Amino acid sequence: MFFVDVLETEGLGNRSYLAGGPGSAVVVDPPRDIDRVVAAAARRGVRITAVAETHVHNDYVTGGLELARLTGARYLVPAGAEVAYARVAVADGDVEPVDAGLELRAVATPGHTPHHTSYVLQEAGRAVAAFTGGSLLIGTVGRPDLVEPRLTEELARAQHASAHRLAGQLEDGVSVLPTHGFGSFCSSSASGGEHSTIGAERAANPALVKDVETFVRELLAGLDDVPAYYAHMAPVNTDGPAPLDLTEPRRADADDIARRLAAGEWVVDLRSRVAFAAGHVAGSLNFEVDGQLATYLAWMVPWGRPVTLLAHSADDLARAQRELARVGIDRPAAAAVGSPADWVADGDRPASFRRATFAELAAARRHDGDVVVVDVRRDAERAQGWVGGSVHLPVHEIHRRLDEVPPGTVWVHCAGGMRAAVAASVLDAAGREVVAVDDGFAAAADAGLPLVTPSDDAAA
């Protein structure tokens, strides 16, 4: 009897898989922090005999090379991927034994990348699960625009063909087990659920229910922003990532924190947005450890800039260090644990700013002509409607576009509050008077704020 264990990496919206039988197993698309994988195998009492990559990843640093080295497993990488390390080059139709009566069959599924390969788990010759990586996702497909702009349309067409190839080979009951699509920016659109089968996808996935021209046109029109750090992931994965080092960073005191800020380094406060707004080191930036820390910090920080982490607890620091290592921010320059009282230099006081609701924003607009509203959602979110008169500066761009923020008190909002807090900390560090709207965007209409849609804008 086979098993499939799911290893979630929620901050990045990805899944890895440990699959096998009573004695041995394969790992598909392992995360950077392979200790989680080793622990899962130990709980199962199985030996890892193979590690399989569906593609050279654009959104995180793989742990595959190190896991294969550590366990002695065969490292399966698509033959079309040009990498700088020894691997087992996998071609379409290749079969890898996993356990007695259990094997993994490679299926070429180009689209997310030119070399993308899915793996079908077969028990006694019958397909039971398909590890589809960035090919066929739940309710969508992996985005085709991460490799080379000139290849985007070609790869979109390949995604359509690959989805049909999988659906044509596999029975309705076969589980679809993608790597991306649970909040990952590698997904071409929002994922449709947590679990699926070939039958469910055959009935509803756009790649399987729409003709290729319609599918490609709609897919390309709906692509969202690409996190800037993606440009660094494929080269790291191609060259072969270094082993992960999660030892504690050097500790920083208040004077050290002040020196690092003065030198232009990034000092990142991991505490909740509520705690940060109430009091923080002036010049520090707020990326909550419970938010999408790795995605947004890696997206915004100038690549290679030293990062110092401030955390409420050692556990929060360790969590953040692990998350950041998954996207190639391997070693914080320094770290401190405690509260602003511990981090602010003698003679200085913690900085703070206000938090508010959309109702309070509406009231301020009625009574104060100094209000500036900044919307930090992404383009695709903004296109669904926005607060009339607001300035649009996506959170991942705001630190480079501060000169575009009009004078006045800046009320900054997103869809739920987390990104508004990030942007508010950036504006606060730049010396602006800021109010973070910590509220769901649906409350804007309830508060009586005027909402504009693209059709309204065009008519005007």
Q: Which CATH number fits the domain that encloses residue 436?
A: 3.40.250.10
User: Residue 389: how many CB atoms within 10 A of its CB?
Assistant: 12
Q: Is residue 246 part of a domain?
A: no
Domain boundary among 177, 211, 239: 239
Q: Is residue 71 part of a domain?
A: yes
Q: Is residue 245 part of a domain?
A: no
Domain boundary among 305, 320, 343: 343
Contact 233, 59 (CB under 8 A): yes
What's the total number of domains in the chain?
3
Q: Is residue 78 part of a domain?
A: yes
Containing domain of residue 448, as a range? 354-459
Domain boundary among 239, 269, 300: 239
* pLDDT attached to residue 192: 61
Same domain? For 131 and 48 the reply is: yes
Cα-based torsion angle of the residue sequence 236, 46, 89, 32 in order, rounded to the nearest 10 degrees = -10
108-126 pLDDT, tens per residue?
Answer: 999 999 999 999 999 999 9
Spatial CB neighbours of 97, under 8 Å, sequence gap ≥ 6 = 49, 103
CA atoms of 436 and 246, how far apart (whole Å): 33
Same domain? For 41 and 143 the reply is: yes
Same domain? For 325 and 358 the reply is: no
Same domain? For 206 and 260 the reply is: no
Same domain? For 205 and 146 the reply is: yes
Q: Is residue 455 part of a domain?
A: yes
Name residue 222's amino acid: G
Same domain? For 9 and 88 the reply is: yes
- Residue 251 bridge partners (DSSP): 335
Same domain? For 136 and 86 the reply is: yes
**Closest C-alpha among 265, 247, 248 to residue 311:** 248
**Closest C-alpha among 241, 243, 240 to residue 85:** 240
3-state secondary structure of 51: strand
CA atoms of 111 and 216, how far apart (whole Å): 11
Spatial CB neighbours of 126, under 8 Å, sequence gap ≥ 6 = none
Place of tokens 């290679």: 304
pLDDT tens series, the chain, 460 aa: 899 999 999 889 999 999 999 999 999 999 999 999 999 999 999 999 999 999 999 999 999 999 999 999 999 999 999 999 999 999 999 999 999 999 999 999 999 999 999 999 999 999 999 999 999 999 999 999 999 999 999 999 999 999 999 999 999 999 999 999 888 888 877 666 789 999 999 999 999 999 999 999 999 999 999 999 999 999 999 999 999 999 999 999 999 999 999 999 999 999 999 999 999 999 999 999 998 999 999 999 999 999 999 999 999 999 999 999 999 999 999 999 999 999 998 888 999 999 999 999 999 999 887 899 999 999 999 999 999 999 999 999 999 999 999 999 999 999 999 999 999 999 999 999 999 999 999 999 999 999 998 866 555 5
Q: 307-334 as b/e, with b when 16 or more CB fall inside 10 Å?
A: bbbbbbeeebbebbbbbbbbbbbbebbb
Spatial CB neighbours of 412, under 8 Å, sequence gap ≥ 6 = 373, 374, 376, 420, 423, 424, 427, 434, 435, 436, 437
Same domain? For 42 and 168 the reply is: yes
Same domain? For 299 and 404 the reply is: no
Tell me the whole-structure pTM to 2 decimals. 0.93
Q: Is residue 247 part of a domain?
A: no
Distances 252 to 247, 262, 337, 342 between C-alpha atoms, Å: 15, 14, 9, 10
Same domain? For 388 and 435 the reply is: yes
Same domain? For 435 and 362 the reply is: yes
CA atoms of 414 and 192, how far apart (whole Å): 23
**Closest C-alpha among 53, 54, 85 to residue 69:** 85
Q: Is residue 244 part of a domain?
A: no
Same domain? For 141 and 109 the reply is: yes
Spatial CB neighbours of 157, under 8 Å, sequence gap ≥ 6 = 212, 216
For residue 49, the domain's CATH number is 3.60.15.10
Q: Is residue 136 part of a domain?
A: yes
